[in-house]
C-alpha cells in the first residue's frame, strides 16, 4: 500500500498525509487556514496529539478526553461528539496509509466576518490531520541518550497566566530557551518555573530517578499522556513515584533522567549541561520503562487498531 506523494505548492514541500477540515478530507498541501484566524493572530487555539504505531492508536481515548477538557476551558466548540472525533482521526490515518503517524486535532477561535475584537463573534474551526511519525529524539539519541540543558534565564509561563493543562501554542518561552540550549551545544532544553523549580521542555515532561524512585514536576506543567503512562507502568512494576516540586539540585544529582512525550515516548537523557548523568549511558530503570511502554503498544487494552482495507487515500 503506497502513501500519497509528498505535496509541493508555491515552492513549499508538504509531508505525505491527510487532513480534515470544513467537513472534507484533503491532502496536507491543501489544508490551510485564513491569515485572519485568531489561531494565527492571537495563538487562540487548543490542540491534542496522539500517535499511531504499527497501525494502532495509543491511548486515543485519553487524548480525546483531554482535548474535550481544553475546549471547555477555552469556551471553544466543535460540532462532533467523542465518537465522531475518533472516527475522523481514524479516517485521516486510513486515508494517509501511514502505519506510524503523528495525528493532531485542533480547534482555533476562527475568524469574525467583521474582524471584531470580541471572541464571541468568531466562528470556531476544527482541523485534524495525520502525517508521518516524528520523535523529539532520533534513533541515535534514543539509544545513547540526549544532551539536555537546564536553562535558568527563561522561565515557564506561570499557570496563573496560561493554564498548562490546556495544550496550546504559547511556545515562545520554550523556543527562546531552546535556542539558548543549541548555543550551548545541547540537543534540547528544560526550563524552570517562576519559583526556580524544574518545569518542562519543548513538548515533553521530565523525570529524575534517584535510588529507584521517580520524581517529576507536578505544578505548572502539562500532565502529558505519556507522563501518565509512566505512572501506570510504575504502578504495574512497583516503582515509587513522587509528583511535586523538583529542584535543580535533584535534577543535577539524579541517577538517571528521562523525558516523555507522545512524539518519542520514553527518551533517556545522559548529559545535563555537558555533565554525564550517572555513568553516561541510559539507566536500567529508564530502559525497563522504555521496553514496557513500547510493549504496551501491542496490547489491545491500550490501543485501537486501524482498519486500512478499502481506504480511499487522498492524493
Question: What pLDDT, on a 0 to 100 scale, did the predictor assign at position 15?
Answer: 86
Burial of 289 (0-12, 13-18, 19+ CB in 10 A): buried
For the record, the C-alpha cell of 236 comes out as: 504495574
Contact 283, 255 (CB under 8 A): yes
The pairs formed by 176-179 with CB atoms below 8 angstroms and a separation of 24 or more are 177/151, 177/153, 177/202, 178/202
Question: What pLDDT, on a 0 to 100 scale, did the predictor assign at position 313?
Answer: 52
Higher pLDDT, 40 or 315: 40
For the record, the C-alpha cell of 226 comes out as: 505519556
The three-state secondary structure class of 172 is helix
pLDDT at 312 over 90: no
pTM of the model: 0.92
Burial of 159 (0-12, 13-18, 19+ CB in 10 A): middle
Q: What is the CB neighbour count within 10 angstroms for residue 164? A: 20
Q: What is the pLDDT of residues 3-13, one digit of tens each?
A: 444 565 565 77
Contact 63, 263 (CB under 8 A): no
Question: What pLDDT, on a 0 to 100 scale, did the predictor assign at position 2?
Answer: 40
At what angle are helices 60-74 and 225-237 packed, to 10 degrees? 130
Instruction: Check residue 79 and report its DSSP letter.
Output: S
| Cα separation, 257 vs 268, whole angstroms | 6
Contact 259, 136 (CB under 8 A): yes
Q: How confident is the model at residue 1 (pLDDT cuts 50, 70, 90)?
A: very low
Percent of the chain with pLDDT over 90: 90
Phi and psi angles of residue 128, each rounded to the nearest 5 degrees, phi first: -140, 155
Percent of the chain with pLDDT over 70: 95
For the record, the C-alpha cell of 138 comes out as: 532520533
Q: What is the pLDDT of residues 165-216, one digit of tens each?
A: 999 998 999 999 999 999 999 999 999 999 999 999 999 999 999 999 999 9
pLDDT at 37 over 50: yes
| Cα separation, 37 vs 115, whole angstroms | 10
Please give the domain boundaries of the chain with CATH numbers for all domains. Answer: 18-132 (3.30.470.10), 139-298 (3.20.10.10)
Phi and psi angles of residue 155, each rounded to the nearest 5 degrees, phi first: -110, 150
| Cα separation, 129 vs 117, whole angstroms | 29
Amino acid at each position: 500500500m503506497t502513501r500519497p506523494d509528498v505535496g509541493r505548492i508555491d515552492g513549499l514541500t508538504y509531508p505525505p498525509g491527510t487532513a480534515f477540515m470544513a467537513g472534507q478530507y484533503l491532502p496536507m498541501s491543501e489544508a490551510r487556514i485564513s491569515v485572519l484566524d485568531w489561531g494565527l493572530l492571537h495563538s487562540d487555539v487548543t490542540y491534542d496529539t496522539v500517535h499511531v504505531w504499527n497501525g494502532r492508536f495509543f491511548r486515543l481515548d485519553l487524548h480525546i478526553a483531554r482535548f474535550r477538557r481544553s475546549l471547555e476551558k477555552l469556551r471553544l466548540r466543535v460540532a462532533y461528539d467523542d465518537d465522531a472525533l475518533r472516527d475522523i482521526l481514524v479516517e485521516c490515518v486510513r486515508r494517509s496509509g501511514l502505519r506510524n503517524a503523528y495525528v493532531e486535532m485542533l480547534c482555533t477561535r476562527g475568524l469574525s466576518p467583521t474582524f471584531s475584537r470580541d471572541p464571541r463573534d468568531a466562528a470556531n474551526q476544527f482541523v485534524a490531520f495525520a502525517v508521518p511519525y516524528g520523535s523529539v529524539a532520533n534513533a541515535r539519541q534514543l539509544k545513547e541518550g540526549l544532551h539536555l540543558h537546564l536553562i535558568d534565564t527563561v522561565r515557564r509561563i506561570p499557570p496563573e497566566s496560561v493554564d498548562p493543562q490546556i495544550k496550546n501554542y504559547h511556545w515562545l518561552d520554550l523556543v527562546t530557551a531552546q535556542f539558548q540550549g543549541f548555543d550551548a551545544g545541547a540537543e534540547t532544553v528544560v526550563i524552570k518555573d517562576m519559583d526556580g523549580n524544574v518545569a518542562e521542555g519543548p513538548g515533553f515532561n521530565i523525570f529524575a530517578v534517584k535510588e529507584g524512585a521517580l520524581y517529576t514536576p507536578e505544578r505548572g506543567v502539562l500532565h502529558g499522556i505519556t507522563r501518565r503512562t509512566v505512572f501506570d507502568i510504575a504502578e504495574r512494576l512497583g516503582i515509587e513515584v513522587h509528583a511535586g516540586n523538583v529542584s535543580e539540585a535533584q535534577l543535577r544529582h539524579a541517577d538517571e533522567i528521562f523525558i516523555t512525550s507522545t512524539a518519542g515516548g520514553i527518551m533517556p537523557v545522559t548529559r545535563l549541561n555537558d555533565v554525564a548523568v550517572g555513568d553516561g549511558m541510559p539507566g536500567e530503570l529508564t530502559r525497563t520503562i522504555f521496553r514496557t511502554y513500547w510493549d504496551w503498544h501491542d496490547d489491545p487494552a491500550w490501543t485501537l487498531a486501524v482498519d486500512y482495507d478499502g481506504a480511499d487515500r487522498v492524493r
